[in-house]
Amino acid sequence: MGKGITSRKENYSQWYNELVVKADLAENSAVRGSMVIKPYGYAIWEKMQAQLDKMFKETGHSNAYFPLFIPKSFFSKEANHVEGFAKECAVVTHYRLKNGENGIEVDENAKLEEELIVRPTSETIIWNTYKNWIQSYRDLPILVNQWANVVRWEMRTRLFLRTAEFLWQEGHTAHATREEAVEEAIKMINIYAEFAQNWLGLPVVIGTKTENERFAGALETYTIEALMQDGKALQSGTSHFLGQNFAKAFDVKFADKNGQLEYVWATSWGVSTRLMGALIMAHSDDNGLVLPPKLAPIQVVIVPIYKGDAQLKDFDEKVDAWLAQFKAKGISVKYDNRDIHKPGFKFAEYELKGVPVRIAIGPRDLEQGTCEIARRDTLEKHVIQQEGLVDYVEKLLIDIQNNIYQKALKHREESNHKVDDFESFKKAIEAGGFVYAHWDGTSETENKIKELTKATIRCIPVDNPQEEGKCVLTGQPSKQRVIFAKAY
């Protein structure tokens, strides 16, 4: 492992790339645009999954699994949906290989009658299925989620933030009424927001997307938008109210209490391994990863400082007792008594990997009944008594979780700009952060602004204060400010 990583100031983008690789989270694979998520990175993802899954189940959802392959004809049933995804679909056309002149080649005689699309999202296959599941209002609602991989053939990819294949969950629900579906979509975006704030330690703005940025096939897209340290926004989760679009496309009707046939109302919602990118970019520093304790695979690491095997034995005995106490409290702890590295190396390594709390114990401590505690978020170190160590660390982990969130929140607040003319707007966008500005509500203006500044409307915040104003570009009347930012 090489020493150090590029600093954020030097090159933020390079800092991110190096961090992902050096912290052992993921690496590029032999397949263009597709990553390998390494055990340490996957462990974080599993913790995210576990918590989200719990939250989904608590709100009445069940998991299921739908096929990876979607017949092309399904895909084209919803006009906006096809249009939105057509440019980034992987297509399976054949089902057999053969030995040819140049080695293994595709067997032209094994062409599929109908091509299969590798799912970029599953609305179509799921609504084709729901058609058979739904006859009456008694079959509703359907509250299903699936954990899956999806493929979107991206031009340019970056580990976790944008890869050709990624992991996610997609919830797909069916409801008897519009109100219930809208309520569901809002409920789920709120769950995402709660997860982001309480687990990722990431403050988010909840809002709706403009028509331009809306999911292909949705009537309304709710989003959580987070701000990264470099002042760029990251869409971290979306929840869609799909209206009756997919029900109509797949002819999914139900008989209501009066025996009337009605189209079903739908939602879908998802978060992906992109959250890993959000997590990394939101908190980490020039020394490496900074993980919120609630998602850290290792929450506490204990490093002994010793001379010779005999001395190590003294530590082993003492630390074994601590390990048992930590485990009893459900705190994941690692005792690193490897002899192949010196303590200094281990300190650097665990900082790079974002372990929230490090305990060092050496001969001096053994004499004095103390140990040294270092917290990753502030890099502060101090010596405490061994007595009460485990309780102390338990509290410290909570404190770190809070501090990480507060720090990110402070950064976002300090990066907010309110502007009323286009010159200030351009400057504010250049400076980075969320820019609150009036907008005349047209796609033309939105596109023009994107062209001129690379900034897009991230969202229209929910409960947005209404105020009279003039569009920052056209001067047309506007009733509210929306959030502009450059985005990932």
Partner RNA sequence: CGGGGUGUGGCCCAGUCCGGUUAAGGCACCUGCUUUGGGAGCAGGGGAUCGCAGGUUCGAAUCCUGCCACCCCGACCA
List residues near RNA by CB under 7 A: 1-4, 13, 17, 28, 32, 84, 87-88, 152, 154-158, 161-164, 166, 213, 215, 235, 238, 272-274, 287, 305-308, 339, 341-345, 347-349, 351-352, 360-366, 371-372, 374, 379, 381, 383, 454
Closer of 61 and 358 to RNA (Cβ): 358
Query: Measured from the CB of residue 458, what is the shortest distance to RNA in angstroms?
Result: 10
- Tell me the backbone φ, ψ of residue 221, rounded to 5 degrees: -115, 125
Closer of 302 and 471 to RNA (Cβ): 302
342: Cβ contacts below 8 Å, ≥ 6 apart: none
Query: Measured from the CB of residue 136, what is the shortest distance to RNA in angstroms?
Result: 34
Closer of 27 and 421 to RNA (Cβ): 27
Closer of 252 and 278 to RNA (Cβ): 278
Closer of 3 and 257 to RNA (Cβ): 3
Query: Measured from the CB of residue 374, what is the shortest distance to RNA in angstroms?
Result: 5
Query: Measured from the CB of residue 191, what is the shortest distance to RNA in angstroms?
Result: 16
Closer of 33 and 141 to RNA (Cβ): 33
Closer of 398 and 452 to RNA (Cβ): 452
Taking the C-alpha atoms of residue 316 and residue 312, their distance in angstroms, rounded to an integer, is 6
Taking the C-alpha atoms of residue 148 and residue 167, their distance in angstroms, rounded to an integer, is 6
Closer of 37 and 360 to RNA (Cβ): 360
Query: Measured from the CB of residue 129, what is the shortest distance to RNA in angstroms?
Result: 23
Query: Measured from the CB of residue 271, what is the shortest distance to RNA in angstroms?
Result: 9
Query: Measured from the CB of residue 246, what is the shortest distance to RNA in angstroms?
Result: 17
Query: Measured from the CB of residue 214, what is the shortest distance to RNA in angstroms?
Result: 8
Query: Measured from the CB of residue 1, what is the shortest distance to RNA in angstroms?
Result: 5
Sign of CA dihedral 56, 62, 63, 67: negative
Contact status, residue 303 vs residue 346, Cβ threshold 8 Å: yes
Closer of 176 and 228 to RNA (Cβ): 228
